[in-house]
């Protein structure tokens, strides 16, 4: 049972919310909780009744879309800051772990006389099924122990079940993880809400249910059914349906990936995400797209190295998705095989050339440099091993240590055509390379003296 003072506080907060929503042109669903009790419903702004009113308690601090997380945290009310710290620093939710939760549009509901920082409401950007959900989260800086209200953007029909939100029912403002856990619970509810919307299309429901029954994909899907257009029949949609799949079975952290991991390039996990867009409810136009985390994309040779097949006319996801998985699995296995072959190749060169090895790539085994001498003529040989070695032939760059070009660079010649077979083992390749060096050096030396400068 709420005390009268608590009830008045809740009423004032709702009144502020109605006015602020009218000013922003919002008419959305919301959840309002206070003092351990809860209720939910729809707020509908009535312009005729609210016209001319001013909301002096809601002061816009500014739209800060490009604000860094740390700057945003310093504008939040100190009592609420620990909750936001966990969200912006540890906020990885859903399947796409390469994107973090993001906070923008910081505002305050305090009066202009309240000393700052006092921001207590903001917009939370949530990556979901290839889209970005934008939810408004509204605290009360004067009563920081109370749970927040939520406005769910364009999803006016999304009304979460309170009993499924334990971190809201048992809100603990002293727990820094409470808000983040609540957001995760809401996303689970949102996923369930989107799945229910698929029932409006028997074809899409069939596609979803078929994948749901497969243990490889059932728990690794996000569904986004777009937004209804209020100006057309309820069976039409202005946005396509998306089925977002997290292909988790492919990447088991092979050694080549662990050694070449670049945390600056990819701060998240190594993932592959398949997005399938249905442009209509009957699935006559289907557009698949594969998203790879930066480190995976780099390891496979860039975005142009992998082309997934088009979705076949009249096809089904339960048949198409395994094809994409197999294609990606084969690509990964091929790259792993190349890693082991490159390591074997460099080990053979270390054995054959010994102290002539200046340096080599001991992680990815992609480069090797030799310092050799022929009849008192010293030269370098740079060996670049391609990603898809041994299918693709290594590139040899001969470089004189004496001669320079007009631009001040060491004189060099690149050789891409020389005796080579991908069927040779590393030892045979090293032997053949040594024989080629002996035959090519006189020609290279002559070119260095003729075209280079001492």
Domain map of the chain by residue range? 4-193, 201-336, 366-451
| Res 129 pLDDT > 60 | yes
Q: pTM of this prediction?
A: 0.67
Among 162, 135, 139, residue whose Cα is nearest residue 149? 139
Q: What confidence score (pLDDT) does residue 65 get?
A: 53
Percent of the chain with pLDDT over 90: 33
pLDDT tens across 212-232, in order?
A: 888 877 778 888 886 554 333
Secondary structure tally for the chain: helices H, strands E? 11, 16
Among 408, 405, 358, 349, residue whose Cα is nearest residue 378? 358
CB-CB contact of 340 with 347 (8 Å) = no
| Res 363 pLDDT > 90 | no
Handedness of CA 18, 24, 30, 36 (dihedral sign): negative
Among 272-276, 354-358, 396-400, 413-417, whose mean pLDDT is lowest?
272-276
- Indicate the pLDDT class of residue 379, thresholds 50, 70 and 90: very high
Among 63, 26, 61, residue whose Cα is nearest residue 43? 26
Q: How far is CA 101 from the centre of its chain?
A: 11
- Indicate the pLDDT class of residue 24, thresholds 50, 70 and 90: very low
Q: What confidence score (pLDDT) does residue 385 get?
A: 96
- Indicate the pLDDT class of residue 347, thresholds 50, 70 and 90: very high
Residue that the structure tokens 């249905």 belong to: 278
Helix axes 317-353, 426-451, angle to 10 degrees: 70
Alpha helices in 124-247 (DSSP H): 166-169, 178-197, 202-212
Residues found in the chain: 454
| Res 37 pLDDT > 50 | no
CB under 8 A, 24+ apart: contacts of 278-282 = 278/204, 278/207, 278/240, 278/241, 278/242, 278/243, 279/240, 280/240, 281/200, 281/201, 281/203, 281/204, 281/235, 281/237, 281/241, 282/201, 282/203
| Res 266 pLDDT > 70 | no
CA distance to 303, 348, 381, 403, 437, per residue, from 415 (Å): 27, 20, 10, 18, 11
| Res 433 pLDDT > 90 | yes
- Indicate the pLDDT class of residue 402, thresholds 50, 70 and 90: very high
Q: What confidence score (pLDDT) does residue 293 get?
A: 77
Angstrom distance (rounded) from CA 225 to CA 198 = 7
Among 29-38, 88-97, 137-146, 367-376, whose mean pLDDT is lowest?
29-38
Average pLDDT along the chain:
76
- Indicate the pLDDT class of residue 28, thresholds 50, 70 and 90: very low
Residue that the structure tokens 């074809």 belong to: 203
Angstrom distance (rounded) from CA 134 to CA 242 = 17
List the end-to-end C-alpha distance of the chain, in Å, as a whole number: 93
| Res 391 pLDDT > 90 | yes
């Amino acid at each position: 049972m709420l005390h009268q003072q608590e009830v008045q506080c809740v009423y004032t907060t709702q009144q502020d919310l109605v006015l602020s929503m009218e000013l922003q042109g919002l008419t959305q669903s919301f959840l309002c909780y206070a003092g351990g009790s809860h209720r939910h419903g729809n707020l509908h702004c009535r312009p005729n009744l609210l016209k001319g009113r001013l909301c002096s308690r809601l002061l816009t601090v500014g739209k800060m879309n490009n604000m860094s997380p740390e700057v945003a945290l310093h504008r939040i009310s100190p009592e609420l800051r620990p909750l936001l710290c966990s969200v912006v620093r540890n906020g990885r939710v859903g399947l796409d772990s390469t994107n973090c939760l993001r906070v923008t549009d910081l505002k305050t509901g305090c009066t202009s006389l309240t000393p700052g920082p006092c921001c207590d409401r903001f917009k939370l950007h949530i990556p979901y099924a290839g889209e970005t959900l934008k939810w408004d989260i509204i605290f009360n800086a004067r009563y920081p122990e109370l749970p927040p209200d939520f406005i769910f953007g364009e999803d006016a029909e999304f009304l979460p079940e309170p009993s499924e939100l334990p971190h809201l029912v048992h809100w603990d403002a002293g727990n820094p993880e409470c808000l983040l856990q609540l957001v995760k619970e809401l996303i689970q509810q949102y996923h369930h809400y989107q799945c229910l919307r698929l029932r409006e299309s028997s074809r899409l429901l069939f596609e979803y249910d078929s994948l749901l029954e497969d243990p490889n994909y059932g728990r690794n899907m996000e569904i986004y059914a777009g937004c209804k257009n209020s100006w057309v029949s309820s069976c039409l949609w202005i946005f396509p349906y998306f089925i977002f799949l997290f292909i988790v079975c492919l990447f088991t952290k092979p050694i080549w990936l662990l050694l070449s991991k670049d945390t600056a390039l990819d701060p998240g996990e190594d993932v592959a995400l398949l997005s399938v867009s249905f442009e209509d409810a009957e699935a006559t136009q289907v557009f698949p797209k594969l998203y790879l985390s930066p480190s995976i994309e780099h390891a496979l040779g860039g975005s142009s190295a992998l082309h997934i097949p088009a979705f076949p006319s009249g096809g089904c996801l339960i048949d198409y998705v395994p094809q994409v998985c197999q294609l990606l699995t084969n690509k990964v296995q091929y790259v792993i095989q190349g890693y082991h072959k490159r390591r074997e190749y460099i080990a053979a060169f270390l054995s054959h050339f010994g102290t002539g090895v200046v340096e080599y790539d001991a992680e990815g085994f992609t480069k090797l440099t030799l310092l050799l001498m022929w009849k008192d003529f010293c030269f370098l040989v740079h060996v670049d091993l391609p990603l898809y070695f041994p299918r693709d032939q290594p590139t040899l760059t001969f470089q004189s240590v004496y001669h320079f070009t007009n631009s001040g660079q060491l004189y060099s010649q690149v050789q891409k055509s020389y005796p080579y077979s991908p069927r040779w083992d590393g030892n045979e390749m090293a032997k053949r390379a040594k024989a080629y060096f002996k035959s090519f050096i006189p020609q290279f030396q002559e070119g260095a003296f003729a075209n280079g400068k001492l």
